[in-house]
Amino acid sequence: MRLLRSLIDDDAGATAIEYGLIAAIISVALLTGYGAFTGALMNVFETITTAITTAGA
């Protein structure tokens, strides 16, 4: 019974799981932001390329 009680009262595993979930949420947010930033940056480069091409013609 004492072993069961000590396992129920132990919080060390729960803390590790919480930190893992926080790291996973941050990773998903960073990947989502990176995807949006990459698309916007490609649009800027395409606009610059178009402007240089039409200016040289």
Which tens digit of pLDDT belongs to each residue from 6-56? 767 766 677 788 888 999 999 999 999 998 889 889 999 999 999 999 987
Place of tokens 């932001």: 33
| Rounded Cα gap, residues 23 and 46, in angstroms | 34
Domain borders along the chain are 15-56
**57 pLDDT higher than 70:** no
Largest CA distance in the chain: 85
pTM, 2 dp: 0.54
